[in-house]
């Protein structure tokens, strides 16, 4: 791994950056209201829908989108494909902020945030709780991600002695960093097993932990391709099409495995008949499948994988399909019973949008000021 990394450079306070800043300020207004007047002041959460937009996007979907670092680590360190190492820091950057902000959003989402520390106290730990596993794994993985990402910061600070030390111990954290997402991404699916009949038949299945893990890895590769193309177009970098073509070749096989498991399970359980049922759920299910089939058909053709525009739309379809799967399972197709209804409030949407905007701002700042991107040849 001898490639060099350099800051992209350029002006930080661009119009794009300032627009994102406005979104963050709007979110800040609602955050102040949330912590001064309580969670009910800015959200439509209830006992029937205790998990709304914040958990569904920031934690369940946001951490899957942030699996680029995990997916690339599997490719580089498990399957020994060192040719993709130049892409590892950019993938880690999206993972670092995706997981950090997902963890921070929990403080906003829980009613008694001042008692969150109880999760880590041995006398209160429930070892049979899936939620405990998710909380511990996400917390530890966020810490591990910052350690894995630290060489980029240390290089920018020219802290050479500490950098050499980190490089000697980094292999341990890389190993841990591949174990933790495997555990908590599948456990996020396990949370829905507890919900039982409240989850629509088209999404409720005993293999949902495996489906969540598969889609998280697939979304990870999708966001790596999307982020690379975004950086090339918006930061004036050379397109990494040869590498992106090889990364995107993995995606259709993961999606085929996912669809075989998903459709096969629905057929064997008899829940496939729910496609003909009433309500919007069958249409949402078909929308998920259509996005994934679109990506499969496009990316199976190696000539399509050499065209950046096609790579952009197919990677976007992968990310949107995975996001829709999670939104359907956790929020849209979730029915706690008669009398309960939920639609995100303006405050919830503004805070979620502000978190995304802050992540984009952090990405732009770090790629311009720290050695994230590999030197172009």
Task: Render pLDDT for 203-223 as a digit per residue (tens, 0 to 9).
Answer: 999 999 999 999 999 999 999
CA dist 347 → 121, 148, 170, 331 (Å): 32, 34, 41, 17
- 192 vs 287: CA distance, rounded Å: 21
Angle (CA) 18-20-23 rounded to 5° is 115
pLDDT band at 1 (very low <50, low <70, confident <90, very high): low
Residue 2 falls inside a structural domain: no
What pLDDT is stored for residue 377 in this prediction? 55
Number of helices (H) and strands (E) in the chain: give both, helices first: 13, 2
Q: What is the DSSP string of 330-349?
A: IIITB---TT------HHHH
The number of distinct structural domains making up the chain is 1
Domain that holds residue 175: 7-374
Residue 114 falls inside a structural domain: yes
Does residue 8 surpass a pLDDT of 70? yes
* 82 secondary structure, DSSP code: G
Residue 308 falls inside a structural domain: yes
- 186 vs 257: CA distance, rounded Å: 16
CB-based contacts of 166-173 (< 8 A; 24+ apart in sequence): 173/144, 173/147, 173/148
> What mean pLDDT value characterizes the chain?
91
Q: For residue 363, what are its two tokens?
A: 């990405």
Task: Render pLDDT for 248-257 as a digit per residue (tens, 0 to 9).
Answer: 999 999 999 9
Task: Render pLDDT for 230-277 as a digit per residue (tens, 0 to 9).
Answer: 888 888 888 888 999 999 999 999 999 999 999 999 999 999 999 998
pLDDT band at 187 (very low <50, low <70, confident <90, very high): confident
Largest separation between any pair of C-alpha atoms in the chain: 64
Q: How many CB atoms lie within 10 A of CB 274?
A: 19
| Contact status, residue 200 vs residue 274, Cβ threshold 8 Å | yes
Q: What is the mean pLDDT of residues 92-96?
A: 91
- 251 vs 235: CA distance, rounded Å: 26
Task: Render pLDDT for 290-336 as a digit per residue (tens, 0 to 9).
Answer: 999 999 999 999 999 999 999 999 999 999 999 999 999 999 989 99
pLDDT band at 145 (very low <50, low <70, confident <90, very high): very high
pLDDT band at 179 (very low <50, low <70, confident <90, very high): confident
| Contact status, residue 125 vs residue 100, Cβ threshold 8 Å | no
> Collapsing DSSP states into helix, strand and coil, what is residue 185?
helix
| Contact status, residue 73 vs residue 177, Cβ threshold 8 Å | yes
Q: What percent of the chain has pLDDT over 70?
A: 99
| Contact status, residue 181 vs residue 102, Cβ threshold 8 Å | no
Q: What is the CA radius of gyration of the chain?
A: 21
* 196 secondary structure, DSSP code: G
What pLDDT is stored for residue 2 in this prediction? 58
> Collapsing DSSP states into helix, strand and coil, what is residue 49?
coil
Phi, psi of 262 (to 5 degrees): -65, -55
- 208 vs 334: CA distance, rounded Å: 15
How do strand 5-6 and strand 373-374 relate by DSSP bridges?
Answer: antiparallel
Task: Render pLDDT for 31-77 as a digit per residue (tens, 0 to 9).
Answer: 999 999 999 999 999 999 988 999 999 889 999 999 999 999 999 98
């Amino acid at each position: 791994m001898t490639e060099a990394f350099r800051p992209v450079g350029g002006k930080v306070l661009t119009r794009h950056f300032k627009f994102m800043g406005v979104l963050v300020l709007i979110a800040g207004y609602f955050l102040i209201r949330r912590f001064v007047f309580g969670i009910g002041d800015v959200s439509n959460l209830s006992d029937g829908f205790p998990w709304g937009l914040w958990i569904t996007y920031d934690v369940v979907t946001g951490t899957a989108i942030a699996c680029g670092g995990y997916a690339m680590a599997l490719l580089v360190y498990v399957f020994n494909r060192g040719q993709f190492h130049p892409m590892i820091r950019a993938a880690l950057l999206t993972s670092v902020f995706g997981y950090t902000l997902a963890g921070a959003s929990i403080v906003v989402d829980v009613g008694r945030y001042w008692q969150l520390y109880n999760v880590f106290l041995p006398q209160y730990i429930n070892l049979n709780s899936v939620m405990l596993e998710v909380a511990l794994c996400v917390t530890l993985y966020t810490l591990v991600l910052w350690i894995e990402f630290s060489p980029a910061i240390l290089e920018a600070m020219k802290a050479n002695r500490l950098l050499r030390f980190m490089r000697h111990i980094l292999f341990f954290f890389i190993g841990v960093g591949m174990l933790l997402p495997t555990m908590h991404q599948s456990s996020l699916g396990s949370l829905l097993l507890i919900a039982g009949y409240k989850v629509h038949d088209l999404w409720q299945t005993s293999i949902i932990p495996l489906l969540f893990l598969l889609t998280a890895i697939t979304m990870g590769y999708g966001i790596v391709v999307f982020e690379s193309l975004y950086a090339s177009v918006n930061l004036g970098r050379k397109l990494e099409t040869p590498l992106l073509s090889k990364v995107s070749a993995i995606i259709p096989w993961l999606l085929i495995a996912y669809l075989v498991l998903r459709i096969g399970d629905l057929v064997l359980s008899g829940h496939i008949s729910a496609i003909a049922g009433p309500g919007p759920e069958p249409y949402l299910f078909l929308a998920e499948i259509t996005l994934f089939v679109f990506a499969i058909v496009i990316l199976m053709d190696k000539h399509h994988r050499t065209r950046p525009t096609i790579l952009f739309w197919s990677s976007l379809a992968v990310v949107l399909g995975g996001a829709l799967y999670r939104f359907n399972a956790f929020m849209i197709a979730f029915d706690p019973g008669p009398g309960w209804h939920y639609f995100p409030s303006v405050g919830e949407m503004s805070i979620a949008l502000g978190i995304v905007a802050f992540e984009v701002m952090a990405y732009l700042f770090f790629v311009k000021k720290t050695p994230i991107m590999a030197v172009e040849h």
